[in-house]
Structure 1
Amino acid sequence: MIFQRVAGPDGPAVRARIHGTPGPRWFAPGRPIRTVHGDASMFIGGIGALLLQSLHPLAMAAVAAHSGYRGDPWGRLQRTSAFLAVTTYGTAADAQAAVDRVRDIHRRVRGTTSQGQPYDAADPHLLGWVHAAETESFLRAHERFGRHPLDPARYDAYVADTAVVAEALGVLDPPRDRRALSRRLAAYRPELRATPEARAAARFLLIEPPLPLALRPVYGVLAANAVSQLPSWARHLLRLPRVPLVEDLTVVPAGRLLTRTVRWALPPAPGG
């Protein structure tokens, strides 16, 4: 059930093709990006990334107008999951083809926000925000919930690995270690705010997820932990207050238990 939701009905076949097709890869077995992206902590990191990314008004306007996340949220998740899988584990040729498809889509995503600001999804500056927010969110989630958290040097190497994909997508000079990533996020801070579209996305992700009632408690644990790992300034913008005692004693332990359960339920990625 979990794997099918994330990967789609063709997930096993796609997974087998990604991992089984012979040829050179962008990332060799044992690289940090394979460790992080193959861990169950990505479920929490992914929700956190969407919340953090929504705080850039131009990025959120593009998502709200063009992504169809409300009408087809699982389809969007499956496409994102497939992109991460093929660029992390697939052949270099397949990874480049996936990047080319995304860049072609980005070239067609243009418009104007409700405040009259133009946006262009192919803008390197906007791509840089999306990349930095995603990398930070995946890293934070793995650091807290990963099976084997990495040492500082390996997390720096993870940031460097993600920079390879970011440059291929059109990001200019992406950060290549954690310190540079923190500086890049800080540089975007003056541009960030919680627009009505961002708050609507947060409500959709946290309160109105398109899930059967039986699965909502499980998702609620993932979502609560995604919120718990957001930077304090991001939580403030989204009006998501921190309740230290509740989070430390119940939310985070529940997140660790759930990610262990998901890890047990999902087959491990070959050659991670």
Structure 2
Amino acid sequence: MTTLPLRARLLTALAGDPDGTPPWVLELADGDDTGLFLEDGPAWTVHAGTATMVAGIRALLMQALHPGALAGVHDWSRYREDPLGRLSGTVRWIICVTFGSQAQAERETARVARFHTRVTGDYRAGDGTPSSYSASDSDLVEWVHIAFTDSFLTCHEAWGAPIPGGPDAYVKDWATAGRLMRLAEPPQTAADMRTRIDDLLARGVLRGDIGDEHRVADVVSFLRRPPFEGSMNTAYRLLFASAVATIPARYRRLLGIRRSPFPVVTLTRLVLAVTGRALGSGPRAQDFARERLRRLAAGGLDVVDA
């Protein structure tokens, strides 16, 4: 049996395609506008970095602390049956919104929204009272947005290059994606974002398992066991440990996880460097987006100010 090169294995996991060029990636070169985000601006810088591989794990762990969001994952997600398909679906939305034209970003958001209209059910809130949920509920949309933004910012600060304008610039930039998901007032600064997370904890909205529930533990257990083999499995286990290391202790306790005693942050820096070289050996999503921007600029459109 032929073993796929590292780049092909990474792109199969991330994009569902060993070449990294499914139709939605190729479409990044199309379109008649410059997109929602400035080329090489805060969102481009963070989402093009390899630290996103740790951030994705961290975001899923943090999102599991909201029982409403967790219920939606438990009741509707296919992550157990098709973990790589679930991952590539999430990556698709992030990539299209970040690097695509406005039209592509809106189509992808509409695709996600159509699925979310079916995601409804019941759960026990942080205080144990019965509650109902819909994936379009404003409080759940806000939680998913801020948990995502916090995780991607935190991991980029640990392993990524400087962000143009700093952390607040990224939070403000990615607020555009929050508004695209109909979030009325997404945070504009890192301090505001983290205050909102801590406030949810203080009010008892965020919680671990209660009584005989095991939903949080099940998600943590699944994320700890990677759907990879060989060297990919070893690398993933390290990324998981590093994701845990970036989560404050008060949230780790709710998740029932401990920080590794090994120097996982330093080791992850080496793994991400190898990953970056592998992915950089061929075209990446941002390269297709640059094709669109160069085409538009050649046609007389001011890419910077558009």
Q: Give the alignment's TM-score, normalised by structure 2.
A: 0.82
Percent identity, aligned pairs only, is: 33
Partner of 2:205: 191
Q: Tell me the amino acid that sits aligned with residue 158 of structure 1.
A: Y
What 5-or-longer segments of structure 2 have no aligned partner?
Answer: 1-8, 294-306
Structure showing greater radius of gyration is: 2
Q: Distance in 1 between matches of 2:12 and 2:75?
A: 27
CA-based RMSD of the aligned residues comes to: 1.8
| Residues in 2 aligned to 1:41 and 1:22: alpha-carbon distance in whole angstroms | 30
> After TM superposition, what 4+ stretches of structure 1 lie above 3 angstroms from structure 2?
19-22
Partners of 1:77 and 1:210 lie apart in 2 by: 11
Measured after TM superposition, the shift of residue 215 of structure 1 is: 2.4
Bigger shift: residues 185-194 or 4-13: 4-13
SS of 2:141's partner is helix
Structure 1 stretches lacking a partner, 5+ long: none
Q: What's the counterpart of residue 215 of structure 1?
A: 232
User: Which residue does 1:241 correspond to in 2?
Assistant: 258
Residue 77 (structure 2) pairs with residue 70 (structure 1): no
Q: How big is each residue's C-alpha offset from its partner over 1:66-91, in whole Å with a ceiling of 9 and x where there is no partner?
A: 01111111111101101000000000
1:176-199, CA deviations, whole angstroms, 9 ceiling, x for partnerless residues?
111111111112112011122111
Shift of 1:154: 2.3
Q: Deviations over 1:11-51 (max 9, x none)?
A: 31432321454423111202100000000000000000000
Secondary structure of the corresponding residue to residue 81 of structure 1: helix
Matched residue type, 2:259:
R
**Which of 89, 107, 110 is the matching residue for 2:117?**
107
Kept after mapping to 1: 8 A contact 2:34/2:101: yes
Conserved? CA contact 2:30–2:101, under 8 Å: no
* Aligned residue number for residue 142 of structure 2: 128
3-state SS in 2 of match to 1:112: strand
In 2: Cα distance, 1:75 partner to 1:40 partner: 20
AA aligned to 1:260 is A
Q: Does 1:200 align with 2:255?
A: no
Between Structure 1 and Structure 2, how many residues are aligned?
265
Describe the SS at the equivalent of 1:176.
coil
Contact 2:146 2:197 in 1 (8 A): yes
User: Which one has the bigger helix percentage?
Assistant: 1
Letter in 2 for 1:174: P
Does residue 257 of the first structure (1) align with residue 270 of the second (2)? yes
